[in-house]
Amino acid sequence: MTIVKWNVRAGAYYDSVVLMQLQRGLLGLPGVVDAGVVMATQANRDLLAANDLLPENIPANADDLLIVVKARDDSSATEAIGKVDELLARRKSSTVSEDFRPRSLSSAVKQLPEANWVLISVPGRYAAGVAREALELGKHVFLYSDNVSLEDEIALKKSAREKGLLVMGPDCGTAIINGIGLGFANRVRRGNIGVIGASGTGTQAVTAQIHNLGAGISHAIGTGGRDLKSEVGAITAQQALDVLARDPETKVITLISKPPSPEVATQLISTSLSTGKPVVIYFIGYPPPARKIGNLSFAISLSEAAEIAVRQVSVSGKWLSVNSRKGYVRGIFSGGTLAYETLLGLQASLSPIYSNGPITANQNLKNPLKSEAHSIIDLGDEFFMVGRLHPMIDNDLRIRRMKQEAADSEVGMILFDVVLGEGSHLDPTGELVPAIREIQASRKDIEFIAMVIGTDEDPQNIQSQIDQLMQAGVAVFRTAAEAVEYISLKFSQQKSDQFPPVNLEQLKQPLAGINVGLESFYGSLISQGAQAVHVEWRPPAGGNERLANLLAKMRK
Amino acid sequence: MNIDTANTTAINRLMEARPILKGVAPARDVIPDMKDNLILHAGPPIEWARMSGPLKGAVIGAMLFEGLAGSETEATSMVERGEVEFDSCHHHGAVGPMAGVTSASMKVYVVENAEHGNKSFSNLNEGYGKVLRYGAYSEEVLKKLHWMNDVLGTALTDALAASNGIDMRALIAEALHMGDEGHNRNKAGSLIYLKLLAPLIAKTMKDNAAMSEVLQFIGDNALSVLNPVMAACKAMTDAAHGVEGSTIVTTMARNGTDFGIRVSGLGEKEWFTAPAEIPVGLFFSGFSQEDANSDIGDSAITETAGIGGFAMATAPAIVTFVGGTPKDAVSATLEMYEITFSESKFFTMPVLDFRGTPTGIDLRKVVELGITPRINTGIAHKNAGVGQVGAGLVRPPLKIFEQALLAYAEKYGL
């Protein structure tokens, strides 16, 4: 036995969907068998009648809300009718939905157009694809993912460089941009020290130490551990050096890396020389060429790198002027150890460099009689000594070699030593200077550098030797270290204008990021007060490789 | 070949299409290749044996209406003897809600795309209750169909003939600003439609009693405008079909058994199909999920054109379909931007700062993200003739998009 109760609300309009919802609510009440909630149009009345839910003689027309409840007993029916208002008023607060989380990078960008960074921490085999898309959308990339192939890394970085964008990573653990830490980063105060790190924990150690010493960080730019390998060629580190050099907030730059490849280290050091700012360099496992070369300081530990950087903030540096000399330097030495020390110093910033007394195997000069690129020649080497006097006594071989070098149009600088003292030639410059002047008559562009080793008590009269050289326009230094510094600065590489620079103004805008991957990175951005959007990322085509490969071909 | 360029062409054609409702005429006079023994139906092509209850019922009803058969048994045996032909509405520029059954004598809306010249067609909407489109074919259903053809149809023919046609793109755009999404909610659009027709009907109809009936019928039926809206969407999506290299989906349709899609850069009659899913939704009193038929109808042409479920954000009155709050409705639309190539220039949504609706489903994005289109839909009873039992949400099976992608790769040698 069931009982039917009804209620009519005149002139109350509700959308049918609201009514279906109410009906579902009524059905859920105890004792209710069936319910109908409709605007009492003819069609709806017919529908109720068909389900045996239309009581007779109901005074309702199309504009009235008709509520009918069929229940097991009278009280259940009455109670249900009594609940109508409550059910209509009920807000679904228990199911408050979250803000929409985009599923793709492109719609995330639409949601947060001011985003300037994309943080990527998806599994390695998908990471390059996401990074490529981010670059296409004109965003800098923080690429935390590892297991990205070297080819992909090179391709990504080249494409970023074409667009004036940075790819930090792959395998980049740490960065601090505009005071906002990306990935793993310590909370450090803002300041005037810019950090470029090819090592995540190295960057953390240095930035934390800088903070602990009372200074702060402008930006810490990560490069990923492979950036300083020769295959990648420090593309990101070079861009970072350039942008930090242009950033007025950055007073000191600190460059740290796990063991770099020597030729890449050389290029970076060379570029660092032309930044016009103090640059503190710590390349773990790489022999420092000196304590200081011009604006560069070489540290021997992470903590020392931080300490030097902090000291440099308050020092207004003055360095020898730099320029980008074209051509090669050729060193024609009589002293083997002087040649060796000069090579050690110059190899940090000149590349390629060769010698008949090489430090590393790849510096070996194939034919000691013929210089290549930058060359440091020890004429006192056995090879040259067969049937000859030592070049400290006999200048003939040196003069001929100097003329030979000057005949090479690619040579821009000739370096030589003048070693005075007992046993040496009594007036070496008296023979060398006429030869230099002869060369200068046809090659005004060649710069001559002399390294004069001796004392004021030596028999040759050191002052007159120096004067003769200087009158001939030769730059004279008394130590190898000074000569090395001078030459390094002369040959420092200006930044190449081949690629658009990273936009400094954009880098200085408040960080807004799109996070693809580890959700904790998103939480970290939000808790640091940055704007961020998290992409609900899934492997393309649900991980179906065949489809994913097709999609990759169908990208454009 | 550049897919983005091809898609831009296809989408521009879809958006620039200018569907104008020009008139109402018997199907045999206007629908290409229409024949007296041909019955058009919704969705991809299907043979009698595999048709679902509602579609079979509608086919029988149409045969009785046409006088091809005198009874249900006769109709069934004629079909089994192969005396009746079936084809997909879409192969003839037509669309129809639910069963979508259209036969030669039925009067249909004629929509002309003023920009590209193609035409599309849709039958007249019968309103609620027992109706042919849900497979009902009782005396009362047929009687209504005859009234619609003879009285309503004639009135519409005359009224539209007295006008320059009704600009459907403008009508849809306005309705979207009044709480319609153009598929499950067409209340506002139907009232605009009534407003536009009423003076024309008053000018052309002589019999006041009949005029009152006609106006009452159009006004009472909140789905009156659904069929011309669908025909308009069909005119738009057909304009976007056949662009070499394009990955834009130009048809989504269901016949109650299969869900099928077509893609602009693939064949004219190349369908990708899989069993249609059963919609999930809210039910009228006395019905439940178990009564629901598999997804049916051509009305997903609205989503294909960028409205319906894709414009959910603009229809707060029916948010219950998507979880209950206006925020869920916004999220539903935002999700569809993930898989569309573009945003409509003409259909905008106030709640999203007048952002255009997500337009042009890109096969590539569907497969890449695994997000299938959201379709708002009416739910048919699985037995012929019972009618609509509710309304809700359905999505096409992902695998038909994957099939289409593979076919694309094969055609274009990827």
pLDDT tens digits for range B228-279 = 999 999 999 999 999 999 999 999 999 999 999 999 999 999 999 999 999 9
**Domain coordinates in residue numbering, chain B:** 18-229, 241-411
Domain shared by A148 and A237, yes or no: yes
Q: Which of B140, B353, B368, B398 to mutate to test the interface with A (most CBs of A within 10 A)?
A: B368
Residue listed under structure tokens 């942008």 = A243
The reply to whether omega before A102 is within 30° of 0 (cis) is no
Closest CA to B84 of B40, B52, B132: B40
B367 CB within 8 Å of a chain A CB: yes
Whether A322 contacts A490, CB under 8 Å: yes
| Domain-embedded: residue A514 | no
Cα–Cα dist A457/A361, whole Å: 40
Residue type, A364: N
Question: Partners of B280 in the beta sheet?
Answer: B393
CB contact under 8 A, A20 and B390: yes
- Average confidence score pLDDT of chain B: 95
pLDDT tens digits for range B50-83 = 999 999 999 999 999 999 999 999 999 999 999 9
Nearest by CB to residue B318, choosing from A15, A36, A46, is A15
Instruction: Determine which helix (DSSP H) or strand (DSSP E) holds A368, and give its type and residue range.
Output: none
10 Å CB burial of residue B158 (0-12, 13-18, 19+) is middle
Largest CA distance in chain B: 65
Count of structural domains, chain A: 3
CATH classification at residue A40: 3.30.70
Closest CA to A92 of B322, B391, B394: B322
CB contact under 8 A, B325 and A36: no
For residue B328, which residues of chain A lie inside 8 Å, CB to CB?
Answer: 97
B116 by DSSP, 3-state: which?
coil
Domain shared by A299 and A366, yes or no: no
| Domain-embedded: residue A515 | no
> What is the model's pTM?
0.79
For residue B128, which residues of chain A lie inside 8 Å, CB to CB?
Answer: 43-44, 47
Question: Partners of A534 in the beta sheet?
Answer: A515
At A317 the pLDDT is 64
At A46 the pLDDT is 84
- Where b means 16+ CB within 10 Å and e means fewer, A483-505 reads bbbbbbbbbbbebeeebeebeee
At A98 the pLDDT is 53
CB contact under 8 A, A551 and B364: yes
- Inter-CA distances, A111 with A526, A535, B294, B314, B380, Å: 16, 11, 36, 18, 38
Cα–Cα dist A428/A453, whole Å: 12
| Domain-embedded: residue A428 | yes
Domain shared by A59 and A182, yes or no: no
Domain shared by A267 and A383, yes or no: no
At A196 the pLDDT is 98
Given A490, A516, A549, which residue is the final one in a domain? A490
Domain of residue A35: give its range. 3-95
Q: CATH homologous superfamily for B241-411? A: v583 domain like (3.90.1700.10)
For residue B414, which residues of chain A lie inside 8 Å, CB to CB?
Answer: 550, 553-554
Residue listed under structure tokens 């940055």 = A530
CB contact under 8 A, A47 and B284: yes
pLDDT tens digits for range A101-111 = 899 998 899 88
Cα–Cα dist B70/A96, whole Å: 56
Q: What is the pLDDT along chain B (414 residues), one digit of tens a residue?
A: 799 999 999 999 999 999 999 999 999 999 999 999 999 999 999 999 999 999 999 999 999 999 999 999 999 999 999 999 999 999 999 999 999 999 999 999 999 999 999 999 999 999 988 899 999 999 999 999 999 999 999 999 999 999 999 999 999 999 999 999 999 999 999 999 999 999 999 999 999 999 999 999 999 999 999 999 999 999 999 999 999 999 999 999 999 999 999 999 999 999 999 999 999 888 888 898 999 999 999 999 999 999 999 999 999 988 876 667 888 899 999 999 999 999 999 999 999 988 999 999 999 999 999 999 999 998 999 988 788 888 889 999 999 999 999 999 999 999
Cα–Cα dist A124/A169, whole Å: 12
Cα–Cα dist A279/B15, whole Å: 58
Task: Name the residue in chain B with its Cα closest to that of A15.
Answer: B317
Domain shared by A337 and A273, yes or no: no
| Domain-embedded: residue A501 | no
Whether A406 contacts A443, CB under 8 Å: yes
Domain shared by A74 and A50, yes or no: yes
Residue type, A380: G
**Half-sphere exposure for A210 (CA within 13 Å, toward CB):** 35
Residue listed under structure tokens 């390998």 = A229
Whether A168 contacts A241, CB under 8 Å: no
- Where b means 16+ CB within 10 Å and e means fewer, B304-313 reads bbbbbbbbbb
Tell which B residues from 2 to 21 touch A, by Cβ distance under 8 Å.
Answer: 2-4
CB contact under 8 A, B285 and A23: yes
Domain shared by A479 and A392, yes or no: yes
Closest CA to A208 of A303, A324, A68, A99: A303
| Domain-embedded: residue A481 | yes
Structural tokens at position A89: 């008023």
CB contact under 8 A, B321 and A17: yes
End-to-end CA distance of chain A: 68
Contacts 24+ apart (CB under 8 A), B264-270: B264/B6, B264/B7, B264/B10, B264/B240, B265/B6, B265/B10, B265/B408, B265/B411, B265/B412, B266/B404, B266/B407, B266/B408, B266/B411, B268/B241, B268/B242, B269/B91, B270/B407
At A93 the pLDDT is 41
| Domain-embedded: residue A450 | yes
Q: How many CB atoms lie within 10 A of CB B389?
A: 26
CB contact under 8 A, A43 and B335: no
Q: Specify the CATH number for B18-229; select among 3.40.50.1370, 3.90.1710.10, 2.60.40.1120, 3.40.50.720.
A: 3.90.1710.10
Domain shared by A90 and A139, yes or no: no
- Which parts of chain A have pLDDT scores under 50? 92-97
| Domain-embedded: residue A471 | yes
| Domain-embedded: residue A353 | yes
Q: Which of B220, B285, B403 to mutate to test the interface with A (most CBs of A within 10 A)?
A: B285
For residue B402, which residues of chain A lie inside 8 Å, CB to CB?
Answer: 541, 544, 547
